[in-house]
Amino acid sequence: MPWRNTSARFGTIAKFFHWTSAAAFIAAYVVVYYVIWFMDDTSVESMPVLNIHWALGLLVGFLVLPRLLWRMLEIQPKDPPGSPAEHRLARVAHWGLYGLLILMPLTGYIGTGAPTDFGVFTVTGFNETALFHWIDRFDLSWDAFEAPIDVVHHFVGKWIAWGVVALHVAAALYHHWVRRDDVLVRMLPQSE
């Protein structure tokens, strides 16, 4: 399977970025709501499970910059047939998704005062970083700093992000089953 995109289809690298981020994003949701719905999220037992949420979220964050760089450098497959308004809507939706791929890991990370354990290495909690120690000089306590950031993370996570993703998936299925074009197929891992 070719690594690079052509004007007709996505290459392996674009597919790798898409499907790894999509799987980690959806799994981050599943894990955090498992904790919220089925565990006591203040208990010690919930910490290793929440750590999975943090690790999946950070993975999404690590991938988004190289992904955007690759997107800017690479040729993009041609838009499928459709009206200019539909093409505009698709572009807005895709940039909205990129916005979420940045906003959710960022607000999650800078709003959480705990390290994330990846097994082979650990990512320091934002409260322990030099950047936060610098912010701290303005007499801002960790609690005062993280509260508004948590509000954004929880609000967007609870009310917005899943809806945008659901519309995105519905649009992909609409293209496949109703329009019967190749929009979904050219993003699938096994497609040529």
Under the criterion CB under 6 A, does residue 54 sit at the interface with ligand HEM? yes
Are the CB atoms for 57 and 100 separated by under 8 Å? Answer: no
Are the CB atoms for 25 and 60 separated by under 8 Å? Answer: yes
State the number of binding residues for ligand HEM (CB under 6 A). 42
Under the criterion CB under 6 A, does residue 63 sit at the interface with ligand HEM? no
Judged by beta carbon, residue 36 or residue 89, the one nearer ligand HEM is: 36
Judged by beta carbon, residue 105 or residue 127, the one nearer ligand HEM is: 105
**Interaction pattern, residues 100-129, with ligand HEM; x per rule: CB under 6 A:** xx--xx--xx--x---x-------------
**Structure tokens of 86?**
């539909």
Backbone angles phi, psi at 123, to 5 degrees: -100, 120
Q: Which of 49, 79, 54, 63 is nearest to 19 (CA)?
A: 63
Which residues from 153-172 bind ligand HEM, rule CB under 6 A? Answer: 153-154, 157-158, 161, 165, 168-169, 172
Count how many Cα atoms sit within 13 Å of the Cα of residue 159 in the half-sphere of its side chain: 6
Residue 116, SS3? Answer: strand
Q: Which stretch binds ligand HEM (CB under 6 A): 18-26, 81-89, 128-136, 138-146?
A: 18-26
- For residue 116, the cross-strand partners are 123
d(CA 129, CA 140) in angstroms, rounded, equals: 15
Under the criterion CB under 6 A, does residue 98 sit at the interface with ligand HEM? yes
**Structure tokens of 134?**
């610098």
Backbone angles phi, psi at 31, to 5 degrees: -65, -45
Judged by beta carbon, residue 32 or residue 127, the one nearer ligand HEM is: 32
Q: Which stretch binds ligand HEM (CB under 6 A): 51-59, 81-89, 127-135, 137-145?
A: 51-59
Q: How far is CA 114 from the centre of its chain?
A: 20
* Contact footprint for ligand HEM (CB under 6 A): 18, 21-22, 25-26, 28-29, 32, 35-36, 41, 53-54, 57-58, 60, 71, 77, 90, 94, 97-98, 100-101, 104-105, 108-109, 112, 116, 153-154, 157-158, 161, 165, 168-169, 172, 183-184, 187
